[in-house]
Amino acid sequence: MEEHLTADFEEACFLVDLSNVVRRQDLGEPGLRSLRRLALVVDAAVALARDPDVKLYLVADRSLRLGGRHEFTDPADVRLLAKWVRTGLVEEVGDADERVLELCEMTGIPVITGDRYRGAREDFPFLQGNTDDFLEPVPGPGGTVRLVPLDMEVASPAQISRKSEEDVLKKQGLLDPRRRPRSEVVLRNWRCPDRRCTAYDTRKGSLVLLPRMHRGVPTCEQHGLELVDDGPRTATAQVKLLVDGRVKARFTLEDGSTVRIGRAPGDGGIALHGLLPGDLAARVSRGHVELRVAGGAVRAKDVSSFGTRWRATAGKSGPGPWHDLPQDASRDLRAGDELELTEGVVLVRSARRFPAELAQEWQRRTPPSGEEPEAVTRMY
Ligand SMILES: [Zn+2]
């Protein structure tokens, strides 16, 4: 199971509210707490994402491990949890709800949970009426688990305040006059006052971390310093390359850019020839598909010789039917939508709104295009 856990947002497909999953007595087996339920959720996530290497980012309350160890059916679970916390595979915090919601709002990575977070609606207005960001594990056939989209509905003020009262102690000390909405935090660039620190800098390094909120203020994880506002953040879109169902590369595109993707699309394009086995590369056109990013939306157009197929999100209700991608017009490519360049070569638009990878980073790491591998003899 460990190979499916990650401490790196860049890799994570799902966030998991671990305490909620471990305590779900309708899943898997009887008993108050069991990690076996997480294993079933991992299987469900593999099936849903159709990615055998799918990675999950786990967040847990400290009380899961320390506050009720006798409640675990298998005492070995407690030792395993402790190891995962030590090695960073579980982020253990005082209030997992708040951290899970903070991460979801910042990254757009969907959360696996059965919790409706009614008491958190004032702090996290994006919860109200949300049908996109939450997946609930429910019992499936033969002792399996399925993940189904969770409709968070609009909680009434009465429901919110009743639940908030229970959470009021948790929140004490967290409110601060400088506190900003997280949705605002993620739309800005941030810089650590320590001059050597590049963790959040969008002009240095290749990755940018999401600020950790400390008492409502974006804070450097490494130096504990308040981050400095560094101007508005440009929207980006991320596309994943899947080869035979496995993620082979990710490309982050800058807002306002038009990019061709293909075997060898030339200057400014994303060349796939080095990433595909020869037989597959030969079936991809030099320039195969064109993506245009504007205002956070992505439009896709076929520019190939033999066509590109498109289908709607494979995310929550399973993939839709394949359609031909038009050549004379472009169509909307939404999060989770797939483009098939040839059988076994698929581009997927990532749900990530703000990927950790800097925009156009691929331009710095892809070898210069134009050089064709020997094996490719067919020209389109
Ligand atoms: Zn720093």
pTM of the model: 0.58
Is pLDDT above 70 for 205? Answer: no
Segment 290-339, tens digit of pLDDT: 999 887 789 999 999 999 999 986 444 556 789 999 998 899 898 778 99
Please spell the DSSP secondary structure of 247-309, one letter per residue. Answer: EEEEEEEETT-EEEEESS--TTSEE-GGGS-HHHHTTS-SS-EEEEEETTEEEEEE-SSS--E
What is the average per-residue pLDDT within 1-18?
88
- Residue showing tokens 């305490």: 19
What is the average per-residue pLDDT within 37-59?
90
Distance (Å) from CA 207 to ligand 1 centroid: 14
Whether 236-365 and 2-171 are alike in CATH topology: the answer is no
Distance (Å) from CA 212 to ligand 1 centroid: 11
Distance (Å) from CA 375 to ligand 1 centroid: 47
Residue 186 tokens read as 């993620």
What is the average per-residue pLDDT within 350-365?
58
Segment 128-167, tens digit of pLDDT: 888 878 999 999 988 999 998 888 888 777 666 656 545 5
Distance (Å) from CA 93 to ligand 1 centroid: 21
| pLDDT number for residue 111 | 94
Task: Determine the Cα–Cα distance for residues 159 and 292; give it in Å rounded to an integer.
Answer: 43
Q: Is 137 exposed, middle or buried (0-12, 13-18, 19+ CB in 10 A)?
A: buried
Architecture of the domain delimited by 2-171: 3-Layer(aba) Sandwich (3.40)
Task: Determine the Cα–Cα distance for residues 71 and 113; give it in Å rounded to an integer.
Answer: 20
Task: Determine the Cα–Cα distance for residues 110 and 45; give it in Å rounded to an integer.
Answer: 11
What is the average per-residue pLDDT within 27-46?
93
| pLDDT number for residue 378 | 25
Q: What are the structural domain ranges in the chain?
A: 2-171, 182-232, 236-365
More confident residue, 78 or 133: 78
More confident residue, 112 or 297: 112
| pLDDT number for residue 339 | 95
Distance (Å) from CA 220 to ligand 1 centroid: 5
Distance (Å) from CA 365 to ligand 1 centroid: 26
> Which amino acid makes up residue 202?
T
Give whole-number Cα distances, 79 to 59, 85, 133, 355, in Å: 17, 10, 31, 33
| pLDDT number for residue 282 | 94
Pick the CATH number of 236-365 from 3.30.300.30, 2.60.200.20, 3.40.50.1170, 3.40.190.10: 2.60.200.20
Kindly state the helix (H) or strand (E) to which residue 160 belongs, with its residue range: helix 157-171
Distance (Å) from CA 131 to ligand 1 centroid: 36
Task: Determine the Cα–Cα distance for residues 112 and 20; give it in Å rounded to an integer.
Answer: 9
What is the average per-residue pLDDT within 18-25?
95
| pLDDT number for residue 207 | 56
| pLDDT number for residue 291 | 96
Is pLDDT above 90 for 287? Answer: yes
